[in-house]
Structure 1
């Protein structure tokens, strides 16, 4: 009986920290950022457009953007979807053996790239990947939360996101929690028709007491945040 009571207590404590349903599959999203050498942006994007079909033959491209504001110039950002880590390993192996990919894209592109970064993320359980109503611009906001994970800040963060969605200040594409990279990092990808509508929506949200209250609750768990404005390329699935 003592063990049963103790076990129940442990379960109750664990349940009190739960933030909702867990990931029920292995699907994850790789964020890749390429910092290009000055004056090489146009050449890199032209080569990417010409040969992107060689890469998407191996795995799904979610979106491909150039950074317009908020980050280093001559930067491209793209998101790739994988079923699980075994899938990504198989894709990387296949790419290493893909002669056409190497000769037509990789070898010509490598001299144009200054630095590369990769981050593995999951969609949070309460969010599905969205689609924009039409072509527009994207804002990627990165929140560095305090240590503790979603068990600490998950509920308040979710409420802050939902209040923005419910009032229609922007269109949510996805909320991604970092698995490899800086831990306790959350990326939120929003769509707007253009940079001006994004600015107008942001200004209205700052005057909305419902948004202010939700953000005030969430911000106690926040360490830093930053954003970048992204312009989709002509070959990006997300426009």
Structure 2
């Protein structure tokens, strides 16, 4: 009897081990990651300068004349004057391959006498404040040039609830896609903050004109697909703001 009980006990333990192993295989694996990860070192620096109102024209004229001294050091994606959503402001985007490259660029600029004497010494007194933010393109976005020059750009900034792309990426992606459907807005790029205010996403849109934007917004608000996608995405949203901007004459994106 003792040998029989021992055999039954061994059989029970073996069966329990098999069940536990199969159960462990079915359990989802936990990762430290909170969402899609940045795969390259490339990033985009967003810069916003507030200009003393009476010096706005002078600042834009100086920048137009001397911007080549700056673009000799690194790539400028676009430079805009804010028309609605922030008076006496300019917004510009600079592209870098790595943080080391940016550090090298900043060091070289500080040692560039032409840049320092012809631009910085004159431009800085015209500014009331400066702000910058490091951003990455979200994994599902690519930079897309507008179909033609001469339009306006809207920068829409979404402050998302904490948690990162793992929480809100899917619904936010769907909302952007519905707004980017044929006949609606043209998305230039979707950017996720890395330094600055965290859990922030910027969408840069292009329109033929401010009136074109108003017309598209009116149509989008009556589109069931857009309304449904927005309703789902706002569950992850804390706040949002926007700016309508005109590209400067020297901006690569026009």
Q: Residue 137 in 1 paired to residue 146 in 2?
A: no
Q: Distance in 2 between matches of 1:32 and 1:69?
A: 17
Q: 1:151-170 residue pairs with structure 2 within 5 A?
A: 151-170=166-185
- Larger Rg belongs to: 2
Aligned to 2:31: 14
The Cα shift of 1:7 comes to 8.8
The Cα shift of 1:198 comes to 0.5
Decide whether the 8 Å contact of 1:19 with 1:155 is kept in 2.
Answer: no
Q: Residue 95 in 1 paired to residue 109 in 2?
A: yes
Q: Residue 56 in 1 paired to residue 71 in 2?
A: yes
> 1:69-107 CA distances to partner (integer Å, 9 max, x unpaired)?
012x11100000000101100000000100000011000
> 1:123-156 CA distances to partner (integer Å, 9 max, x unpaired)?
0010001101112000000000001111100100
Q: 1:173-212 residue pairs with structure 2 within 5 A?
A: 173-212=188-227
The Cα shift of 1:168 comes to 2.9
The Cα shift of 1:163 comes to 1.1
Aligned to 1:40: 55
The alpha-carbon distance between structure 1 residues 9 and 47, as it changes in their structure 2 partners (threshold 3 A), is farther
Q: Residue 125 in 1 paired to residue 139 in 2?
A: yes
Q: Distance in 2 between matches of 1:178 and 1:6?
A: 39
Structure 1: runs of 5+ lacking an equivalent: none
Aligned to 2:125: 111
Runs of 4+ in 1 over 3 A off after TM superposition: 4-11, 17-20
The alpha-carbon distance between structure 1 residues 5 and 117, as it changes in their structure 2 partners (threshold 3 A), is farther
Q: Distance in 1 between matches of 2:28 and 2:98?
A: 29
Per the normalisation by structure 1, the TM-score is 0.93
Give the match's secondary structure for 1:115.
strand
The alpha-carbon distance between structure 1 residues 27 and 7, as it changes in their structure 2 partners (threshold 3 A), is farther
The alpha-carbon distance between structure 1 residues 10 and 96, as it changes in their structure 2 partners (threshold 3 A), is farther
The Cα shift of 1:164 comes to 1.2
Decide whether the 8 Å contact of 2:35 with 2:164 is kept in 1.
Answer: no
Q: How many residues align?
A: 235
Give the match's secondary structure for 1:13.
coil
Q: Distance in 1 between matches of 2:25 and 2:201?
A: 32
Decide whether the 8 Å contact of 1:31 with 1:78 is kept in 2.
Answer: yes
The Cα shift of 1:18 comes to 6.6
